[in-house]
């Protein structure tokens, strides 16, 4: 699949925003960031909303006819994209209500309940986004149960790293949040590694089932068009194996290994916040590369009709 920058930026940035808001909303009931003040929660929450908004705006750039984007709220019952749009819009009033309650009343039952609801709704949006990809049977690299889990974990990863930076800037004790961050990083690394290994297993339709000749070899003689088509541009994108391997190593180093080292250093709470900022930037860059690979490695079955032997 052709890696569209607007969609990669959307999932990485809005994912960071939702991850940040989930952890921030849960920090009160679970005491992840002791002594955090209502002002600090409100400020960090608004930062999360800015990231979410930047991502959502970017996502509309890949629409060829954005005038009709408002219609995407109408097919909630069948379409994951419609569900994502509805929940993403419902998220704003709830998140603002929570931040207002937090700002005005501090750590009350109302603000905490609202916070938990915000976290659940953010999680729902993330799952809907991931299901847009995971529901497509035409792309076996996306039609995989680990895809939604991976989307949620990587959003939590970049979100937690950003919350650690904010905690560091505010001078709060970071020990508990660092434990959560370390757990999320390790879990995300395991899920991503299993996913990478499973992609290597041959599966799915072949050129034989695609055109229905399953008892003999089939090869393309002529694709029938002389220039690029919508399908070659959208689905024909290819990267060579060596480059994929290097980029996978980059994902593991940037998103998992380096942030984990910094977070382990922060377990006793004594890390300079600039280090955490570098780790957060590294994590975001790693997820950005991961999202690029997520598209680049996806092989749509239409390629079989264009001569690929398998996907």
Partner 1 sequence: MKLGLVIDLDTCVGCHACAVACKQWNTSGTTGPLTDTDPYGAEPGGVWFNRIRHYEVDAFPVSKTVNVPMSCMHCEEAACVTVCPTGASWKREDGIVLVDQNKCMGCNLCAWACPYGARELDPDAGVMKKCTLCVDRINDQRLPEAQRQPACVLTCPTRARMFGDFDDPESDVSVAVRERGGYEMMPELGYKAVNRYLPPRPKPVVEISEQTRGENDVDGGSLIGKWMRRQKAAFDAYGRAPEGGAHGVATPETER
Distance CA 299, CA 308 (A): 10
Q: How far is the CB of 145 from partner 1 (least distance, A)?
A: 17
List Cα–Cα distances, 82 to 2, 49, 64, 167, in angstroms: 22, 20, 17, 35
List Cα–Cα distances, 121 to 22, 91, 230, 291, in angstroms: 9, 7, 36, 23
Q: How far is the CB of 196 from partner 1 (least distance, A)?
A: 20
CA nearest to 162, candidates 5, 282, 290: 282
Contacts of 306 (CB under 8 A, 6+ apart): 220, 223, 231, 232, 236
CB closer to partner 1, 171 vs 212 = 212
Q: Token match 């809907």: residue? A: 128
User: b/e map of 24-51 (b: 16 or more CB within 10 Å)?
Assistant: bbbbbeeebbeebebebbbebbebbbeb
Q: How many CB atoms lie within 10 A of CB 201?
A: 8
Q: How far is the CB of 244 from partner 1 (least distance, A)?
A: 14
Q: How many CB atoms lie within 10 A of CB 61?
A: 13
Q: How far is the CB of 259 from partner 1 (least distance, A)?
A: 32
Q: How far is the CB of 5 from partner 1 (least distance, A)?
A: 15
CB closer to partner 1, 93 vs 227 = 227
CB closer to partner 1, 165 vs 210 = 210
CB closer to partner 1, 106 vs 307 = 307
In the complex, which residues of this chain contact partner 1 (CB under 8 A)?
1, 62-69, 71-75, 78-82, 85, 132, 135-139, 205, 207, 209-213, 216-232, 234, 236-238, 300-303, 305-310
Distance CA 44, CA 22 (A): 12
Q: How far is the CB of 15 from partner 1 (least distance, A)?
A: 19
CB closer to partner 1, 65 vs 93 = 65
Q: How far is the CB of 72 from partner 1 (least distance, A)?
A: 4
Torsion angle of alpha carbons 166, 170, 172, 175, nearest 10°? 20
Distance CA 90, CA 76 (A): 13
CB closer to partner 1, 171 vs 219 = 219
Q: How far is the CB of 213 from partner 1 (least distance, A)?
A: 5
CB closer to partner 1, 108 vs 208 = 208
CB closer to partner 1, 68 vs 171 = 68
CB closer to partner 1, 147 vs 178 = 147
CA nearest to 297, candidates 194, 206, 150, 199: 199
Q: How far is the CB of 129 from partner 1 (least distance, A)?
A: 12
- From the number of C-beta atoms within 10 Å of its C-beta (0-12, 13-18, 19+), residue 11 rates as buried
CA nearest to 251, candidates 142, 122, 158, 125: 158
């Amino acid at each position: 699949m052709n890696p569209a920058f607007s969609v990669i930026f959307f999932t990485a940035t809005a994912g960071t925003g939702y991850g940040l808001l989930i952890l921030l909303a849960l920090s009160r009931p679970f005491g992840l960031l002791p002594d955090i003040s209502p002002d600090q929660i409100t400020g960090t929450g608004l930062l999360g909303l800015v990231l979410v908004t930047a991502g959502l705006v970017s996502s509309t750039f890949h629409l060829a006819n954005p005038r009709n984007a408002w219609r995407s709220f109408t097919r909630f019952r069948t379409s994951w994209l419609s569900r994502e749009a509805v929940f993403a819009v419902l998220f704003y009033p709830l998140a603002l209500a929570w931040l207002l309650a937090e700002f005005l009343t501090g750590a009350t039952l109302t603000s905490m309940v609202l916070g938990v609801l915000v976290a659940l709704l953010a999680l729902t949006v993330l799952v809907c986004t991931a299901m847009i990809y995971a529901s497509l049977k035409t792309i076996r690299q996306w039609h995989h149960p680990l895809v939604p889990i991976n989307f949620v974990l990587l959003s939590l990863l970049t979100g937690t790293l950003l919350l650690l930076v904010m905690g560091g800037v505010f001078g709060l004790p970071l020990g508990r949040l660092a434990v959560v961050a370390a757990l999320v990083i390790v879990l995300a690394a395991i899920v991503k590694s299993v996913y990478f290994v499973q992609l290597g297993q041959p599966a799915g339709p072949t050129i034989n089932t695609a055109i229905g000749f399953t008892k003999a070899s089939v090869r393309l003689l002529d694709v029938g068009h002389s220039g690029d088509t919508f399908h070659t541009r959208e689905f024909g994108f290819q990267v060579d194996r060596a480059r994929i391997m290097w980029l996978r190593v980059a994902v593991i180093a940037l998103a998992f290994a380096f942030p984990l080292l910094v977070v382990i250093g922060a377990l006793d709470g004594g890390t300079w916040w600039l280090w955490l900022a570098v780790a957060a930037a590294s994590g975001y860059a790693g997820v950005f590369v991961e999202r690029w690979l997520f598209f680049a490695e996806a092989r749509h079955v239409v390629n079989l009709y264009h001569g690929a032997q398998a996907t």
